[in-house]
């Protein structure tokens, strides 16, 4: 340990990955664990996308790709932005990376200097705060509430801005809450940022296609701010392609060039095979993603019904993504006679050991009252999991 860099020592382990691993360890011991911790669709990649990957192998796409991605893929992304979001990103403004997490890391490392402040609304995805640390920036965490649908207000943002503010990091639809900012809400936030020419908006839109309330809205649609918006997306969630590891950004050309420079020294271009599959994904008809969205919405409704039957649990209505983020703090201080629940980590471990359900503590997302539950699994497993959850909760007095 003493030989490790401060950079690594200061970095926290991903709690979502840790809980997923704990559930797998228990499964390996023969324990039937229902894993509600993992952030990936339980669908298989659509066949036409798999065929494109197979064809890429047969067509010998086995050589290094251009650092920012194949021109054909960047063109497909540019067309997707225009077709689905009415955003004008030329291919040279697009960088394809090894997943949206890599795109986020590129943007932060290219923009943030030591001591720069990055505003991060909480609850936030577990990697945001750690990526800011990695870029030597300072996290400015803005707390939200379940009553406000876990969304920040323009006044909160205005009051958080200082001369050191360099970026704000927004996720909509949100991991972990499922909250979605409306067009009016985004515009109000953009107007707060607009006068501050040093500040950039990094917007994570990876759950774009899993939306239960209507049209997806992007920050970059507003002309008065678009030159300072970095739009992050990818194929993982909407097309059930988590393992393909393809994310991308649309950004000002100078920033895209800087991220290409960075990526050229760290990873070069992403998998050539996965890129070809991603071209097929982005050119898919809308029903490809719509089929999955409909299923996720049904599961959302089911898990809300089942959670609503458990005393003391409070939650908002997820408008998108495939997570629900219930407040379980009513159980803090209670015990089953052996285990006392002091926080969300205790609660998640209690559920794992007593109900054989894997969830993720809210501490990892900057909200210690809550836990994250993924409903990216079958109706049968959700029903069994929530029945076991209710049984375990009833033992806490």
- How far apart CA 277 and CA 272 sit, in angstroms, is 9
pLDDT at 208 (0 to 100): 98
Q: Write out the two tokens for 136.
A: 């030597």
Cα(153)–Cα(156) distance, integer angstroms: 5
Give the residue from 161, 107, 162 showing the smallest Cα distance to 135.
107
Instruction: Look up residue 265 and give its two tokens.
Output: 């020294």
Given this model, what pLDDT does residue 140 score? Answer: 98
pTM of the model as a whole: 0.96
**What Rg, from alpha-carbon coordinates, does the chain have?**
21
Cβ atoms of residues 239 and 49 within 8 Å: yes
pLDDT at 18: 77
Q: Is the peptide bond before 173 cis (omega within 30 degrees of 0)?
A: yes
CB atoms within 10 A of CB 279: 21
* Residue bearing tokens 């990055």: 118
Pair of tokens at residue 370: 């809550």
> Which domains, and CATH codes, for the chain?
6-44+287-394 (3.90.1150.10), 63-282 (3.40.640.10)
Task: Supply the pLDDT for residue 61.
Answer: 98
User: What's the distance, CA 156 to chain centroid?
Assistant: 22
Ranges in the chain, pLDDT < 70: none
Hey, what are 361's tokens? 């503590």
What's the start-to-end Cα distance of the chain, in Å? 41
pLDDT in the model for residue 38 = 84
The structure tokens 């707060």 sit at: 192
Of 25, 60, 5, 11, nearest to 358 by C-alpha is 25
pLDDT of residue 359: 95
103 upstream amide cis, omega within 30 of 0: no
Gap between the Cα atoms of 82 and 98, Å rounded: 23
Cα(355)–Cα(333) distance, rounded to whole angstroms?
19
The CA–CA distances, whole Å, from 302 to 35, 207, 391 equal 17, 20, 18
Alpha-carbon gap, residue 13 to 293, rounded angstroms: 30
């Amino acid at each position: 340990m003493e030989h490790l860099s401060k950079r690594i020592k200061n970095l926290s382990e991903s709690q979502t990955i840790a809980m997923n691993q704990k559930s797998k360890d228990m499964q390996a011991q023969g324990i039937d664990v229902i894993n509600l911790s993992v952030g990936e669709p339980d669908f298989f990649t659509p066949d036409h996308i798999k065929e494109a990957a197979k064809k890429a192998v047969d067509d010998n796409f086995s050589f290094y790709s251009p650092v920012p991605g194949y021109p054909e893929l960047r063109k497909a992304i540019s067309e997707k932005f225009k077709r689905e979001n009415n955003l004008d990103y030329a291919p040279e403004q697009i960088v394809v990376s090894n997943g949206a997490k890599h795109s986020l890391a590129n943007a932060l490392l290219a923009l943030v200097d030591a001591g720069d402040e990055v505003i991060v609304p909480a609850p936030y995805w577990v990697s945001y705060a750690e990526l800011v640390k990695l870029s030597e920036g300072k996290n400015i965490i803005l707390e939200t509430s379940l009553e406000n649908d876990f969304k920040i207000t323009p006044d909160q943002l205005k009051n958080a801005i200082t001369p050191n503010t360099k970026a704000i990091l927004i996720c909509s639809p949100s991991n972990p809450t499922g909250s979605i900012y409306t067009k009016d809400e985004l515009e109000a936030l953009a107007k707060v940022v607009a006068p501050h020419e040093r500040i950039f908006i990094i917007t994570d839109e990876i759950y774009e296609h899993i939306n239960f309330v209507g049209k997806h809205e992007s920050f970059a649609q507003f002309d008065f701010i678009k030159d300072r918006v970095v739009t992050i997306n990818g194929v993982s969630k909407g097309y059930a392609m988590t393992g393909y590891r393809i994310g991308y950004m649309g950004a000002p050309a100078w920033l895209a060039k800087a991220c290409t420079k960075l990526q050229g020294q760290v990873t070069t271009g992403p998998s050539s095979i996965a890129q070809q599959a991603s071209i097929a994904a982005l050119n898919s008809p809308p029903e490809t993603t719509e089929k999955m969205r409909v299923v996720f919405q049904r599961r959302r409704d089911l898990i809300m019904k089942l959670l609503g039957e458990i005393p003391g649990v409070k939650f908002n209505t997820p408008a998108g993504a495939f997570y629900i983020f219930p407040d379980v703090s009513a159980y803090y201080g209670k015990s089953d006679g052996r285990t006392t629940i002091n926080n969300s980590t205790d609660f998640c471990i209690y559920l794992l050991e007593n109900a054989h359900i894997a969830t993720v503590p809210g501490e990892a997302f900057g909200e210690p009252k809550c836990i994250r539950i993924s409903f990216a699994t079958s109706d049968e497993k959700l029903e069994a999991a929530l029945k076991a959850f209710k049984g375990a909760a009833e033992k806490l007095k």
